[in-house]
A and B are shown apart, each in its own frame.
Chain A
Amino acid sequence: MRDYYEFYNPVKIIAGKNSIALNLGKELKNLGCNRVLVVSGPIINKLGLTDYVATAINNSGVKVCGYFTNVPNESSFQTIKDICDIYRLNNCDSLVALGGGSVLDTAKAVKLVLSQNAEDIDSLRGYDMVREGIKIPMILLPTTCGTGAEITRVSVITNDKNNSKEEFLSDNLLPDVCVLDPEMIKTLPLKSVVLTSFDSLSHAVEGFCCGQKNPLSDRYSILAISQIFEYLPKVVEDPDNEEYRLKLLEAANFSGISFGNSMVGAVHAIAHTMGSVLKIGHDYAVSKLLPYVLQYNMEKSKKDYERLFYYVVSLEEYKKVVQENRPQIFVGKIKELYDTTAGKIGGIPTLKECGLKEELFDEIAKKSLLDGAILTNPKYMEIQDIKNVLQMALEEKL
């Protein structure tokens, strides 16, 4: 039995239709904000979402004093410096960021730099390296249903000098409020909904099975997993349904709370490396690896899979399956969900098509072992184990 655990989630969550229009201005006023810097990416800006958010803020009497709408897909130290400069130049007193993982991570890193009154983020790298500093009110608005970045205390930013991904972990990265509004993901392409939902699913499953799991994070994982299994197929059938999209946005939030208070495992350790070697999206890499890593971990996670199986099938189907088969069928259900939803959206490229080949296995395996997430994977992994998983993922054979 574990000796003790920790759970921390001080973020206010507001969710629902029109929640931005109805609440954003009020929340900013409650935080004592008058001059906001809005941060987003070029695509979000083009879709008119930045204007939508700015209008909601201005209508409440709080002023938008600056914009940074060019956060790239792979955010960098220089981007953070540029945003901090704009914040200081315009005398802003708060941040509102809308976007996917990259934008939200960028905003979190900006908050960290500003709170410490630092020149740049380089000096703040690593885990828990900073104490509480200047209060910088921040509200995050996710526009994908995957990362959970709006509720986690980690930010991943590319170091421009050596092109490596650096992790920053601190309670100072957490926002004051996050708002889950289906308006933000109304126009998200179905392919992105599927892939980001699998990122969210992997957070939840890995959070449930990892070495740092605890009773509270487990409940959030279960909520997220059951919601994804229920609503992802529904969204694929009825893409314009706002309620279904909101459910997936919520599930991503629950997954974020779960893994933010437990950890992830080998899926993420390998996906991080695979992503930088093959230059593929994180959500794509994770969705491709998930069933194969779960299969590898079967020996150690049988009981966890058996428990999760209850939440992904109907009661009738659950009763029909004998206990000893439930873990394997659970892993099969994950693969089935991916194959079904991918099939219905016209297919997703294979890892082979994206450039994965056996010659790269050694490099990916060695770098994956340096990722902290490998420590909390339920089953110990060495280089050959990672290569075996990559082989399974390449051949798409469970």
Chain B
Amino acid sequence: MKRTFFNIVTKFSFDYMSKGLSTLYKYDKKVKEQFDNIPSGTNIRVSVYGTPNVLTIKKIDNKVITYKKAEQPSSVDLEIIFKFSSSLPKILNGSNSVTQAYNNKEFCVKGDLRYAMALVFSIERFMGYLLPKKRYKEKYNRDAVLVMPKIKMFNYLLFSRRVTK
């Protein structure tokens, strides 16, 4: 029951994460800078071990696009695999930071670690919009950097479509 709940949460999390990353790439200079360290055409997959939940994004030219479920590439340049179904929900609700999850070996990285660093930076920036100020500071040891009001980010997360092309 718990696992099913986490799987559902993860499915929605991936959806919001992909929209969040595309939005930040467009509006946040620092996130764009980090992603521009990744060569164009690089495929990055985030998945949860033992579940069908998967998020595959691709950095191309001046965009970060998300692959549709039916069009997943057979191989990727970087894969981040969460070992436990509870790991990603714990990051998103502020129980764990991304770094803490990495230190606890809750996810493993397969591929070029430099690309993973760009993704980690971007996700940590994204978390600044999702968590309350105090919680973010407690978990990430710094103040959140917001390039737009939180309400604007939520607007994108709830009402925009995933960038797929």
Contact = CB atoms under 8 A, between A and B. Distances in A.
B114 A370 contact: yes
B11 interface: no
A380 B105 CA distance: 18
Given A375-B99, A380-B140, A380-B141, A4 B104 contact: yes
Given A6-B105, A376-B102, A127 B142 contact: no
Contacts of A376: 99, 102-103
B102 A126 contact: no
A31 interface: no
Given A370-B117, A372-B116, A126 B141 contact: no
A372 B78 CA distance: 14
Interface string A358-381: 000000000001111011100110
Contact of A128 (B37, B77, B109, B140): B109
A369 B111 contact: no
A126 B78 contact: yes
Interface string A1-34: 0111110000000000000000000000000000
B68 interface: no
Interface string B108-120: 1111111011101
Interface in B68-111: 77-78, 99-100, 102-106, 108-111
A128 B105 contact: no
Contacts of A380: 99, 140-142
Nearest to B116: A372
A332 interface: no
A281 interface: no
A354 interface: no
A382 B78 CA distance: 24
A217 interface: no
Interface in B120-144: 120-121, 140-142
A167 interface: yes
A129 B104 contact: no
Nearest to B105: A6
Given A369-B117, A375-B117, A380-B140, A129 B105 contact: no
Contacts, number: 61
User: What DSSP secondary structure best describes chain A's contact surface?
Assistant: loop
Interface centre among B100, B106, B108, B114 (most CB of A within 10 A): B114
Contact of A125 (B108, B112, B120): B112
A211 interface: yes
B120 A375 contact: yes
Interface centre among B37, B103, B104, B118 (most CB of A within 10 A): B103
A96 to B, nearest CB: 30
Contact of B99 (A6, A127, A211): A211
A212 interface: yes
Contacts of A369: 117, 121
Contacts of A211: 99-100, 102-103
A128 B80 CA distance: 11
B162 to A, nearest CB: 27
B141 A379 contact: yes
A260 to B, nearest CB: 14
Nearest to A211: B103
Contacts of B113: 126-127, 167, 372
A78 B108 CA distance: 29
A380 B102 CA distance: 14
Contact of B103 (A127, A212, A379, A382): A212
Contacts of A5: 105
B106 A3 contact: yes
A5 B103 CA distance: 9
A367 to B, nearest CB: 10
A126 B100 CA distance: 22
A128 B110 contact: yes
Interface string A320-360: 00000000000000000000000000000000000000000
Contacts of A2: 103-104
Nearest to A366: B33
Nearest to A127: B109
Contacts of B104: 2-4
A132 B27 CA distance: 43
Contacts of B120: 375
A37 to B, nearest CB: 29
B108 A128 contact: yes
Interface of B: 37, 77-78, 99-100, 102-106, 108-114, 116-118, 120-121, 140-142
Interface of A: 2-6, 125-129, 167, 210-212, 369-372, 374-376, 379-380, 382
14 contacts: A2-B104, A3-B106, A126-B110, A167-B113, A210-B103, A369-B121, A372-B114, A372-B117, A374-B117, A375-B99, A375-B117, A380-B99, A380-B140, A382-B142
Given A3-B104, A211-B103, A376-B102, 12 more contacts: A2-B103, A4-B104, A126-B77, A128-B110, A210-B103, A212-B102, A212-B105, A370-B118, A372-B116, A375-B99, A375-B103, A380-B141
